[in-house]
Structure 1
């Protein structure tokens, strides 16, 4: 047999064909192995995945709307704290002229003694008949034992009211809580002498007891001894010594030379009533009455201003009155004192009110409920 030989240029083509044939054969065998199972062989499960679009919601979903932006507010200006609530009578009109003016005491401590302070010069504030203040000067140059000290106080036309027992309903506040009680003032006019006793009670407790005794003379109501006791405190005495012309106190070493017209806190109201009864023209709207008033430790000039006429309703009835007020000096711890005098009832004090001007602004008011003859 003869040997067949191919031309050299055909060998590469033959090799390429053999390689392609082997690759194709491998692909066919791999496909058959995965897709053609022999008889009895278990079939592998076939997993089919189908992608479907999500259906739209039946109702639209409402998302919470964002809150509208609040405009920036400017910070409010700080306002002053409101004044403490005080009991104010609606019908009280403010005076035409301010009465919270500084009034210097008209007396100075007496010349030096065992219990007195050195004397000094001081101004005197007087009141003319038309209610205008006048200036003057007085020097405390007399010794306590000198009975010839010149009288420099203001002298008014006076006529003391007749004797009477005045009973009052007491109302007010304590720490802004309502308070109620009963009070009485027993006034005795004995011609040349007087005696006045007063007390105020709340339930079964006596809040205040006071007594003032003295003369009824050319000055009007001229006290000699004032005694006061508050609550459970000890009683204090204020002396208006005529022999020594000295005003002194059991609760302090302060003293003042006696010049005429001095009052204590109980006699003051009856001196104002005596001024109204003595000459009603002295009580006119806008008029001022200056009186030196001694308390339990010291004294000072009280300026009382007439606000005007006022009709008020009281337990005793409807009355036409004159309304007077005493305002303390700025910075003082004294109360404001309002007094209503009734000319048709001998100028008796039918209403008196004491107001603490410091917070919380408590007050005590006495309203006349009964007018009777004095107790013996």
Structure 2
């Protein structure tokens, strides 16, 4: 296309040149009419023919010059047309029987063994990161009531789910499963049926007294000191136990137990605990036709059994057993007592360890050491009680030890 455009432009210029030439010739002819006579010129028709011939010659020259650039060079041969091949799939008749191709021949000495398919690799499960547990914060100013569980991180929280604890470690000195009697389960009739199988002890309760204790609460390597006072009152028919733990004159916790005295010894009717940070809880011993133990801090109840105690009365019941049956105080003897707390009741297996010397503020004293060991696989606390024969078998020393090693220690400082 560029070559054709060039040719068209050349033709246009040639035509313009011929037109201009003819115009100039006509103007010269007019000018010669006024000039003097000259030699005769060729006729006008002859000049026009000459111009026309010159124009044709010029066109032919331009066409001849441009003719070499039109079309493809002769040296370049036209490529043959590509052959178009159409292909189609023609379905033939299916073979009547499948033909199995023979396996390739193997070298001599080699046997064909089936290759087990590769098992798909099981996708690796991404383990979720463990949720960090919040650091426990225990106030050292809070000393628990005698017999209650030592403070936990949940004590300072008004509401919320309790923290889930890991599995409890197994202690070497824990009682064996054969020594542990599970807590009461069932109805009052079941408890009555099993009552005959429980040991009955001869009880001789100690006289009324008020005991003052020096309190040491050890947690995380630090010790908080306080004081405690326990008032034991008994007239032979009824009893009361009232106690409190205080520091700098402020009561941190208080407890009380009250009821009657029967053939099995102390027969509680009410046990109450009050912590400075929590409302009072009540445990009722229903000694009517219901024969049950109910808890204000729980919806379940437990069957009532003869000789059942609470956390405040158990030291005094043990003192009554020691006074009534001193022959039982032999190392290795196990005493079985049902003890109710604020949420449930369970059998405590109390072992007699032996007679020991206990150093008190008032001086050394001989006392019988009794231990309630925690059950295997539980978070029960260890309870150590020392009963002094020379002092009416009063509990002169008590220690409550948690699985963590924290403990609450009460040592007799005064007796009234």
TM-score in same-fold range (> 0.5): yes
CA shift digits 1:35-87 (9 cap, x unpaired): xxxxxxxxxxxxxxxxxxxxxxxxxxxxxxxxxxxxxxxxxxxxxxxxxxxxx
CA shift digits 1:89-127 (9 cap, x unpaired): xxxxxxxx954223242521437xxxxxxxxxxxxxxxx
Kindly indicate whether residue 309 of structure 2 is the aligned counterpart of residue 259 of structure 1: no
Q: CA deviation at 1:204?
A: 4.0
Kindly indicate whether residue 277 of structure 2 is the aligned counterpart of residue 236 of structure 1: no
**Relative contact order higher in (CA < 8 Å, ≥ 6 apart):** 1
* 1:101 corresponds to which of 158, 176, 186: 176
1:225/1:239 contact within 8 Å kept: yes
Q: CA deviation at 1:151?
A: 5.5
Q: Relative to total residues, which structure has the larger strand share, 1 or 2?
A: 1
SS state at 2:412 partner: strand
Q: CA deviation at 1:152?
A: 5.0
1:301-340 matched pairs, under 5 angstroms: 301-340=347-386
TM-score (norm 1): 0.61
1:139-218 matched pairs, under 5 angstroms: 140=190, 152-218=197-263
Structure 1, unaligned stretches of length 5 or more? 1-96, 112-138, 143-147
Q: CA deviation at 1:258?
A: 1.3
Kindly indicate whether residue 407 of structure 2 is the aligned counterpart of residue 366 of structure 1: no
Distance 1:254 1:109, change over 3 A: farther
Range moving further from structure 2, 330-339 or 211-220: 330-339
1:1-20 matched pairs, under 5 angstroms: none
1:216-295 matched pairs, under 5 angstroms: 216-243=261-288, 244-295=290-341
Aligned residue for 2:399?
A: 353
SS state at 2:415 partner: strand
Distance 1:202 1:141, change over 3 A: closer
1:214/1:224 contact within 8 Å kept: yes
CA distance in 2 between partners of 1:288 and 1:152 (Å): 15
Distance 1:141 1:187, change over 3 A: closer
* 1:110 corresponds to which of 177, 180, 187: 187
Q: Relative to total residues, which structure has the larger helix share, 1 or 2?
A: 2
1:151/1:259 contact within 8 Å kept: no
Distance 1:334 1:203, change over 3 A: farther
CA distance in 2 between partners of 1:324 and 1:333 (Å): 19
SS state at 1:140 partner: helix
TM-score (norm 2): 0.55
Q: CA deviation at 1:176?
A: 2.0
1:76-91 matched pairs, under 5 angstroms: none
Distance 1:310 1:150, change over 3 A: closer
Structure 2, unaligned stretches of length 5 or more? 1-171
Q: CA deviation at 1:150?
A: 5.9
